[in-house]
DNA sequence: CTGGGTGCAAACTCTTTGCATTCGG
DNA sequence: CCGAATGCAAAGAGTTTGCACCCAG
C-alpha cells in the first residue's frame, strides 16, 4: 500500500516541470524517452495520471485532441489556439467564479474547468497575411 | 457543393432534440438505431459533427470520456457528475466572463468553455449511505 | 522478502476515413 | 444526371490493461 519513490516517477515529474509549454502526454513520453529510451509510454501515462489525480499537476482537456498537462497547480486558466493548437496560460484570476458555484440543480460542486479558445499572436499574423494576399 | 436535406440528417437532429440528457454520440447512435437500424454509426458521427460545427448543437467535452452533445444553443454551462457521469445544465448566466476575454497574452479570443464538476443529488445521497454504513 | 512499479504488447474506446453505392435536387 | 451523403469496414489517435519480471523499502 506504500507508494514508492521510483526513478521513473522522479524523471517524469521533473520532465513535466521542465516543459513549460503544457505538453500532451505523448510529448512528455517523447521528451522522457529522448534521454531515457527504456521508460515506457505506459509508465509515463500512469505517472501523469497519478500526478493529475493527486493534484500535483493539472490535466487540460482541449477540444478535439489529446489531454495536455500543466505542472503549475495554482488556480489559473488556459487559452488554446484554434489554429496551431498551442496552449498558453491566462494568469488573470477570476474571483467571480467562486461565487458562481451554486444554483446548479442540486449538484455539490467540486471544481470547474474554464478554457478559452482563440488565435495566438503568430496565427493572427498569418491570418492577416493570407487575407491580404 | 449544395448541402442536401437527407432523411438521416432529419432523424439525427430530431433524435438529439428529443434526448434532453446531453447524450454522447454513442447514445445518439443507439437511440437512432433503435428505430432505424440501418443508419450507420459513421453517419451519426458525421451529422453530429456538422451540427456542432454549424452551431446548431453544442459539443460538451467532459474530462475522461466521450463527447456529449446538447441541442440547446443558447449560452449556458454544464455540470458533470464525477460519480455517475450525468450532465446537467447550469442555467445561471455568467455575465462576468464576457469582461474576462482580454489580457490573454495577445490571444484573440473566439470563445470559451466552462464546465463544472461535482456530485449530482443522487450520488450525494449514495455517498451519505456509504459513509453511514 | 513482498507487493507496488515497470515494460511490453495487446486491447480498448472513441472517432474518422476510403471506397463503392445510393439518392436528393 | 451528378456529386453530396451514406453504409460498411477498416484504420486511426489516444489511452488503458494483463501479465511476467523487477526493485524500493
Most confident of A47-51, B75-79, B105-109: A47-51
What are the b/e assignments for B80-108, b being 16+ CB within 10 Å? bbbeeebbbebeeebeebeebbeebeebb
- Cα separation, A14 vs A39, whole angstroms: 14
Assign 3-class secondary structure to B20-77. CCCCEHHHHHHHHHHHCCCCCHHHHHHHHHHHHHHCCCEEECCCCCCCEEECCCCCCE
- Cα separation, A109 vs A104, whole angstroms: 8
Q: Which of A58, A61, A105 is nearest to B64 (CA)?
A: A61
pLDDT in tens, A31-45: 999 999 999 999 999
B79-A111-B104-A15 Cα dihedral, nearest 10 degrees: -120
pLDDT of B93: 59
Chosen CATH of A1-71 out of 1.10.10.10, 3.20.130.10, 3.40.50.460, 3.30.70.20: 1.10.10.10
Q: Is the domain defined by B75-133 classed in CATH 3.30.1490.190?
A: yes
Which nt has its C1' nearest the CA of B3? D4
pLDDT of B32: 98
DSSP string, A95-109: THHHHHS--STT-EE
Residue A13, CB, less than 7 Å from strand C?
A: no
| Cα–chain center distance at A113 | 12
pLDDT of B105: 64
- The chain-wide mean pLDDT, for chain B, equals 85
Reading the block at residue A100, the C-alpha cell is 458562481
- Class of residue B45 by CB neighbours under 10 A (exposed 0-12, middle 13-18, buried 19+): middle
Chain A contact for B11 (CB, 8 A cutoff): no
Query: Is the CB of residue B54 less than 8 Å from the CB of residue B9?
Result: no
What's the half-sphere exposure (Cβ side, CA atoms, 13 Å) at B107? 30
- The chain-wide mean pLDDT, for chain A, equals 85
Nearest to A59 among B63, B100, B110 (CB): B63
- B100/A92 Cβ within 8 A: yes
In angstroms, the CA of B36 and the C1' of C24 are apart by 19
- B42 has pLDDT over 80: yes
pLDDT of A113: 81
In this prediction, residue B121 has a pLDDT band, given cuts at 50, 70 and 90, of confident
For A41, residues 6+ apart whose C-beta sits below 8 A from its C-beta are: A29
Which nt has its C1' nearest the CA of A66? D14
- Name the residue with higher pLDDT: B105 or A103: B105
Enumerate the domain spans of chain A: 1-71, 75-133
pLDDT of A132: 67
Q: Residue range B4-24: average pLDDT?
A: 96
pLDDT in tens, A83-106: 788 888 887 656 556 555 555 567
Amino acid at each position: 500500500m506504500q507508494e514508492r519513490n521510483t526513478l521513473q516517477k522522479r524523471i517524469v515529474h521533473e520532465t513535466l516541470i521542465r516543459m513549460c509549454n503544457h505538453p500532451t502526454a505523448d510529448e512528455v513520453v517523447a521528451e522522457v524517452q529522448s534521454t531515457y529510451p527504456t521508460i515506457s509510454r505506459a509508465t509515463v501515462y500512469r505517472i501523469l495520471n497519478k500526478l493529475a489525480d493527486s493534484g500535483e499537476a493539472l490535466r487540460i482537456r482541449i477540444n478535439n485532441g489529446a489531454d495536455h498537462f500543466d505542472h503549475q497547480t495554482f488556480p489559473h486558466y488556459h487559452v488554446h489556439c484554434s489554429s496551431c493548437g498551442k496552449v498558453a496560460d491566462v494568469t488573470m484570476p477570476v474571483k467571480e467564479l467562486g461565487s458562481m458555484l451554486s444554483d446548479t440543480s442540486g449538484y455539490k460542486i467540486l471544481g470547474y474547468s474554464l478554457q478559452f479558445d482563440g488565435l495566438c499572436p503568430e496565427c493572427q499574423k498569418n491570418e492577416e497575411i493570407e487575407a491580404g494576399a
